[in-house]
Amino acid sequence: MNTTDTNTKLINSYLSLLKNMSVSNKLDLISKLSSSMKADFDDAKVDFYDAFGAWDEEESAEALVDAIKSTRTFMRKTEEF
């Protein structure tokens, strides 16, 4: 059984549970499901945009380059045969 079949069966079982609910309860459920989906979407959107951005430091680019270059170490070793 693949995922699509499983999801279809799950949805159908939920529908069979919900068919006896009143219209107002169904509308309330729809509203709450919509709100939860919007919240999930907004959280995902914020996480996505938080992954990108500009460098958040006060020092200039030149100072940053100098700091990186000053911490470099070169250890040239040649292997003897």
Look up residue 68 and give its amino acid.
I
- pLDDT of 51 reads 67
d(CA 31, CA 15): 16
| Cβ 18 vs Cβ 29: under 8 Å | yes
| Cβ 54 vs Cβ 46: under 8 Å | no
Domain residue extents for the chain = 23-51
Which of 42, 46, 45 minimizes the C-alpha distance to 34?
42
- pLDDT of 31 reads 92
**What is the chain's length?**
81
- pLDDT (tens, 9 = 90+) of the chain, 81 residues, equals 678 889 899 999 988 988 889 999 999 999 998 888 877 777 666 666 666 666 667 888 889 899 889 988 877 777 777
Look up residue 73 and give its amino acid.
T
d(CA 72, CA 66): 10
